[in-house]
Chain A
Amino acid sequence: MTWASLLELTFWIPLLAAGVRVATPLVFASLGEAVSERAGVLNVGLEGMMALGAIVGFLVAYWTGHSWAGLLAAAMAGLAASLVFGFLTIFRGADQIVTGIVMNILLLGLASFLYASIFASAHVVAQLAAIPVFRVPWLSDLPVIGRPFFAQSPIVYAVYLLIPLFWFLLERSPWGLSVRAAGENPEAVDSAGINIWFLRLQAAAIGGAMAGLAGAILAVVQIGAYVDGMIAGRGFIALAIVVFGGWRPWRVAVAALLFGVVDAFQLRLQVSGAAIPSPFLIGLPYILTIIVVAFVAGRAGYPAAINKPYPLRHFSRRQRKPIPADRAAIHPVPQEHS
């Protein structure tokens, strides 16, 4: 590969195609996490939930022979894990970062345990059949963008539907308004008579289901196998993407695509045998993540109520009656944790 080839479309079109492919699981995980964080639930356990989705999706797809069944099961598994996470952080007031880290240890261990105990005797790596590429008629023939965006695995097209769906859900629907308020001013949501704990649990569950799907896309659709450590930090990269995308679905998707293209770029350079030592190439997505977290978005942007459990003492029938807005403003509900 020469540097001159960087100027040609024959370099950029396959790169973009690979970038879209690599970005797909990242988009799934970060869209869900954006909803969760908007509600005030920071899910550091994303990495583990992706690993759980990967193993459950792989196992179900392997046993049933249907990739879609695997994806569905993975979403359910991610959802179940996020309910545990949500119970602890929303209803028991546990610190979100502590809980998330421990969830990672639990779920990465569980994924590894399941794979090792089920395939212990088999000496061959279990493989799934690849899902064939579906070329969208007419659109895939468009110049430049046709091949990268419309000659992909069908799961990529789901992304094109999910981005506007999440945008509408989060930024145009009444539910989204409550979610965003839950992350910025939970007292206001509570005084409006909305069950803030259940609302946050819903948002966390969407995040968990999407993380499970993301892991399964990686294992079932893209690689066709499960390997320990295959998530390789993508859960944390997704956390950075959410920050980079400013918690807005469209921007989050674009940010994920940027990460996908960078990852695809380093993979191509490695394959082409460029004279750059491999750690700098393999490490490129990690370095990019650090740069994004450090210089693009500081802490200021996070929803104000992130990692602030809403005290449960109002969670009783007796106090369902909303507090008048003016009184709530004068006597803010004291936080249990700070």
Chain B
Amino acid sequence: MSVHVDSAVTERWRPFAQGTGLVLASMALTGLVLLPIGINPIGAYAQILKGAFGSVNALTEDLVYATPIILTSLSVIIAFRCGLWNLGSDGQLYLGAIATVGLGFNRFGMLPPVLLPVMAVAAFAAGAAWAAVPAVLRLRFGASEVIVTIMMNFLAVTIATYLVGGPWASGITPATAPIVSAGFLPILVPGTRLNANFLVAIAAAALLSFVLRRTVFGYQLRTIGQNIDAARYAGMPVNKIRFVSFSCAGGLAGLAGFGEVAGIYHNLPNGLSPGFGYTGIVVALLARLNPLWAVIVAFALAALSVGSGGMQRAMGIPVSLVSILEAVLILLVLATRLLERRA
């Protein structure tokens, strides 16, 4: 009996032990690129920890940075759960941001209480519309959504750059003119940049988790992802569900763009997203496509990014060290086949 309990306990903790081992191994491997430039990897990692958790302000910055990453990772998850790749959440984020800024100038003279919700809905709709293009091309014409979503990312950035430099230019900074103050999201902790969109992201994760586990739609979505032929045979509206979930994926990424504009910048700057969409993919894979785990993993990777900013300032190490670290970690997961999703 005791043996049985023991094995159950080890079974429960094994993923954590394996995860820790993989993280340490990837840190060691990534450290190899630091040695040739004459930097002690342990010192660099210590700087990252200090930059990420060293002060209250750093902690809130972690949450600020985690907000868009949570939303883009949910975006990747909802599409992947029905067997589709959404590599386009970066572009969908830009579309959401563009819609937010466009309405945020408040040229239609909307009342303050109406403005914010309208901006959020428009950002969701713009992201969803941007995602609907690859969804239709995939479901109707069999076009690879991997290639199409990446191309849509480049197009979205091109449009944003055009708006920033042309029609909406502020004339001073490489950003558009600011939105009206009625369109600012409330700040949660005074004196920091932590805004209400963080709560939106958490709520979205909880909602997605509930939908996937407890609703008919979620059941059908998961079935399509696991065995599309079985789903067809069972008479599920496969194309309709895949279209809706892919559009929602775009909408979630659009909300991330809404938060960046309404909560932080209050305008649309050039280079709004430092690759939030791609970090979202990393988070989704490491969280094994679980929306609630995605929140935790997103926080960890956000802390890593914030910390690496500190490391760059203190030691002059480029922040791209973080993408190397993240990628090496996933490659190790793939190579060892530990932590694999059991369908």
Chain A contact residues, CB within 8 Å of chain B: 44, 84, 87-88, 92-94, 97-99, 101-103, 105-106, 108-110, 112-113, 116-118, 120, 232-233, 236, 239-240, 243, 277-279, 282-283, 286-287, 289-290, 293-295, 298-300
Query: Could you say which residues of chain A place their CB within 8 Å of the CB of B330?
Result: 98, 102
Interface centre among B87, B151, B161, B317 (most CB of A within 10 A): B151
A294 touches B318 (CB 8 A): no
B162, A278: Cβ atoms under 8 Å? yes
Which B303-343 residues have a C-beta within 8 angstroms of A? Answer: 316-318, 320-324, 326-328, 330-331, 334-335, 337
Query: Which residues of A are found within 8 Å of B141, using beta-carbon distances?
Result: 294-295, 298
Asked if B162 and A290 sit within 8 Å, CB to CB, the answer is no
Contact indicator B327/A97 (Cβ below 8 Å): no
> Which stretch (B101-109, B119-127, B245-253, B277-285) binds chain A?
B277-285
Please name 15 further chain A to chain B contacts, defined as beta carbons within 8 Å, in addition to the given A44-B146, A240-B147, A279-B162, sorted by A numbering: A97-B85, A97-B146, A101-B87, A102-B285, A102-B334, A105-B327, A106-B323, A106-B327, A120-B318, A233-B154, A287-B155, A290-B143, A290-B148, A298-B141, A299-B143
Say whether B181 faces chain A, with CB atoms less than 8 Å apart.
no
Q: Are B321 and A113 in contact (CB under 8 A)?
A: yes
A residues in contact with B318, CB < 8 Å: 112-113, 116-117, 120
Report the separation of the CA atoms of residues A295 and B140 in the bound assembly, to the nearest whole angstrom.
Answer: 10
* B-side interface mostly: helix
**Nearest 4 pairs between A and B by C-beta?**
A109-B323, A106-B327, A298-B142, A116-B318
Chain A residues near B155 (CB-CB < 8 A): 279, 283, 286-287
Query: Which of B158, B282, B328 contacts A283 (CB under 8 A)?
Result: B158
Q: What are 5 A-B pairs with beta-carbon distances under 8 A? A: A103-B331, A112-B320, A117-B318, A287-B155, A298-B143
Query: What chain B residues lie within 8 Å of A233 (beta carbons)?
Result: 150-151, 154
Measured CA separation A120–B312 after assembly (Å): 11
**Do A117 and B37 touch across chains, with their CB atoms under 8 A apart?**
yes
Q: A109-B324, A236-B147 are in contact. Are A290 and B152 (CB under 8 A)?
A: yes
- In the assembled complex, how far is the CB of residue A315 from the closest CB belonging to chain B, in whole angstroms? 16
Interface residue? B166 (CB, 8 A) = yes
Chain A residues near B154 (CB-CB < 8 A) = 232-233, 283, 286
User: Which A residues are CB-close (under 8 A) to B147?
Assistant: 236, 239-240, 289-290, 293
Q: Determine if A293 and B324 form an interchain contact, defined as CB atoms under 8 angstroms apart.
A: no
User: CA of A277 to CA of B163 in the docked complex: distance in angstroms?
Assistant: 10
In the assembled complex, the Cα of A49 lies from the Cα of B277 at a distance in Å of 20
A106 in complex: contacting residue of B133, B146, B324, CB < 8 Å: B324
Contacts of A278 in B (CB 8 A): 158, 162, 166
In the complex, B33 has a CB within 8 A of chain A: yes
Chain B residues with CB below 8 A from A299, complex form: 142-144
For A288, give the chain B residue with the smallest CB separation: B151
Q: Which residue of A lies closest to B140 (CB)?
A: A294
Q: How far is the CA of A101 from the CA of B285 in the complex (A)?
A: 11
Query: B85, A109: Cβ atoms under 8 Å?
Result: no
Task: List B residues 128-187 near A (Cβ within 8 Å).
Answer: 133, 137, 141-144, 146-148, 150-152, 154-155, 158-159, 161-162, 166
Q: Name the residue on A nearest B161 (C-beta).
A: A279
In contact, A294 and B334 (Cβ under 8 angstroms):
no
Query: In the complex, which residue of chain B has the Cβ closest to the Cβ of A84?
Result: B331
**A98 & B327 in contact (Cβ 8 Å cutoff):** no
Contact of B281 among A84, A87, A101, A109 (CB under 8 A): A101
A13 and B33 alpha carbons, distance in the complex (Å) = 47
Assess whether A106 is in contact with B331, with CB atoms less than 8 Å apart.
Answer: yes
Inter-chain contacts of A286 with B (CB < 8 A): 151-152, 154-155, 158
Residue among A84, A97, A116 with the highest chain B CB neighbour number at 10 A: A116
**Smallest CB-CB separation from B137: which chain A residue?**
A294
In the complex, A110 Cα to B30 Cα: how many Å?
10
Q: Is the Cβ of A92 less than 8 Å from the Cβ of B151?
A: no
